[in-house]
């Protein structure tokens, strides 16, 4: 395992590079890093005192005696005596976690701070990359991913991170190249993770639960990463895997999810009857659906939403609305409720209905040939446009991620009018090629044969269209919902 001294040096080198080379990214880096570290701390059940104690060990005060005029000022310690430092650090960290920038800072202190929060260095990839000049990242895998130098990534396994990042996107995107007979590191971390096999074949494993499954090109697995996991190459030609790591910003939601898989980090006692668990599958996903509703709720009150339900001839009380906004299941919830909420909160149909599939609490395996359903296709209007939407038959409990396939026929455009929605969107071609128009930017071409893709800020108006009058395309679309994490009223 990588030693702590090596970790500090690697972090210092990366932080020095980003803060000296990309000076325009420095304020955004610091403003993003604090809230992100707070999220990680709360997910890992660390207190602020735990972080302060660890930071004081890793980054001792410049002056252990009485403060004098000649004492070197430290961006977190301040010009204070060692015996008073813990109080000052705690106060500074609270401000830092709130996104308030320190006046001055040192790279060694930032490196020590990251270690104090128990953050694996590899997870800093998106924060240490320069900001993209456009609200999108487009290109071939070989051009937009760069290998990272962190050791301890497995056996014959290379990790690469995106060469740039989108403002406001805290999804960590990693590309793995596993040589024949190699394996990724066996590890766990907070949040959920989506693995997409882009070439070759891997065996994915959750060793603690005795689960092992073979994934081929186009297949994927979505799981809660608090479960120890690893991946192996099953052939001599090796495999390539695209990984997205997401971190929950609502601790209560995370505890409920972990409780559903019996994880040791969940403290909240939640009965099976409340979650409607049957054969390890839920009828719908109240936790992720609540995040969607809070994102689109705007300034509407509970009473206003309940009244809008009544106007649509659906009997839902103010208490029912509160439960929906806070991820609590309600009796008889079904597709008509989703349609009503979609109309009341102006949620795009294609976004809303994806949350009304069965939710598995631990993991889902998606076989690209068998595990997609077109049962919502008529409602989504796909066939009216000559295209076909297909959604996985299951989703991962509590994950604010939507996965779908879009079959785009020749000479087609979806949707006909550009649309937008909160969060970020990733488009990967499985077959053929397509053109993606994002805001006023030049259209981006994605092709299956050269592994080109696009990830972009989906608040920008966008649409997808065929590039050929004779050949269509099959696209994998992944939407990451990043909206307000707070509770409903």
At residue 48, does pLDDT exceed 60?
A: yes
Residue 99 has pLDDT above 50, yes or no: yes
Alpha-carbon torsion (360, 364, 367, 368), positive or negative: positive
Q: What is the pLDDT of residue 47?
A: 83
Rounded to two decimals, what is the model's pTM?
0.80
Query: Phi and psi at residue 418, in whole multiples of 5°?
Result: -55, 140
Summarize pLDDT for 246-288 with one digit per residue, the tens: 865 455 566 666 666 654 433 333 333 333 333 344 567 888 8
Task: Answer yes or no: is pLDDT of 166 > 70.
Answer: yes
Please check the confidence at residue 346 and state whether its pLDDT lies above 80. yes
CA atoms of 450 and 403, how far apart (whole Å)? 22
Delimiting residues of CATH 1.10.260 domain(s) in the chain = 251-360
Nearest to 149 by CA among 10, 295, 344: 10
Residue reference for tokens 């891997």: 202
Task: Evaluate if residue 65 carries a pLDDT over 50.
Answer: no
Beta strands in 247-376 (DSSP E): 358-360, 363-366, 372-373
Q: Give the tens place of pLDDT for each residue, 278-316.
A: 334 456 788 888 888 988 988 899 999 999 999 998 889
Going by CATH, does the domain composed of 136-246 fall within 2.60.120.10?
Answer: yes
Q: Is 251-360 in CATH node 1.10.260?
A: yes
Cα angle: 111, vertex 165, 145; to 5 degrees: 90
Spell out the CATH class of 376-480: mainly beta
Number of C-beta neighbours around residue 68 at 10 A: 9
The two tokens of residue 350 are 């294609």
Q: Give residue-wise pLDDT tens across range 411-461.
A: 888 888 888 988 999 999 999 999 999 999 889 999 999 999 999 999 999
CATH 2.60.120.10 maps onto the chain at: 136-246, 376-480
Give the dihedral sign, CA 40/44/48/49: negative
């Amino acid at each position: 395992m990588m030693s702590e001294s090596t970790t500090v040096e690697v972090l210092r080198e990366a932080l020095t590079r980003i803060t000296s080379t990309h000076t325009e990214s420095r304020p955004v880096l610091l403003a993003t890093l604090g809230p992100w570290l707070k999220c990680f701390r709360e997910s890992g059940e660390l207190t602020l005192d735990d972080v302060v104690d660890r930071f004081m060990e890793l980054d001792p005060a410049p002056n252990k005696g009485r403060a004098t005029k000649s004492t070197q000022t430290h961006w977190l310690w301040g010009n204070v005596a060692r015996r008073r430092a813990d109080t000052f650090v705690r106060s500074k960290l609270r401000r830092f976690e709130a996104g308030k920038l320190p006046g001055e800072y040192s790279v060694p202190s930032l490196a020590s701070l990251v270690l104090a929060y128990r953050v694996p260095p590899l997870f800093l990839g998106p924060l240490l990359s320069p900001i993209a000049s456009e609200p999108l990242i487009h290109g071939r895998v070989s051009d937009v991913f760069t290998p990272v130098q962190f050791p301890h990534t497995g056996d014959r396994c290379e990790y690469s991170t995106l060469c740039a990042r989108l403002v406001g996107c805290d999804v960590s995107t990693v590309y793995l190249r596993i040589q024949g007979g190699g394996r990724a590191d066996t590890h766990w971390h907070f949040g959920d993770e989506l693995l997409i096999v882009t070439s070759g074949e891997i065996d994915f494993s959750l060793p603690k639960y005795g689960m092992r499954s073979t994934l081929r090109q186009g297949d994927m697995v979505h799981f809660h990463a608090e479960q120890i996991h690893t991946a192996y190459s099953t052939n001599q030609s090796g495999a390539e895997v695209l990984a997205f790591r997401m971190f929950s910003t609502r601790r209560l939601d995370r505890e409920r999810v972990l409780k559903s898989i019996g994880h040791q980090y969940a403290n909240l006692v939640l009965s099976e009857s409340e979650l409607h668990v049957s054969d390890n599958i839920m009828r719908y996903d109240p936790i992720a659906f609540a995040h969607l509703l809070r994102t689109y709720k705007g300034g509407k009150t509970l009473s206003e939403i309940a009244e809008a339900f009544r106007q649509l001839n659906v009997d839902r009380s103010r208490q029912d609305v509160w439960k929906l906004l806070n991820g609590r299941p309600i009796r008889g919830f079904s597709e008509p409720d989703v349609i009503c909420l979609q109309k009341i909160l102006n949620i795009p149909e294609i976004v809303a209905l994806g949350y009304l599939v069965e939710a598995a609490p631990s993991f889902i395996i998606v076989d690209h040939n068998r595990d997609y359903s077109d049962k919502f296709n008529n409602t989504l209007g796909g066939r009216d446009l000559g295209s076909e939407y297909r959604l996985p038959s299951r989703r991962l409990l509590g994950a604010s991620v939507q996965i779908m396939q879009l079959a785009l026929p020749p000479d087609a455009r979806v949707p006909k009018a550009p649309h937008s929605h909160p969060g970020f969107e990733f488009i990967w071609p499985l077959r053929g090629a397509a053109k993606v128009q994002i805001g006023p930017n030049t259209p981006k071409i994605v092709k299956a044969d050269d592994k080109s893709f696009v990830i972009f800020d989906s608040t920008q108006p966008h649409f997808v269209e065929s590039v050929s009058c004779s050949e269509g395309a099959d696209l994998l679309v992944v939407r990451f919902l990043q909206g307000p994490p707070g509770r409903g009223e």
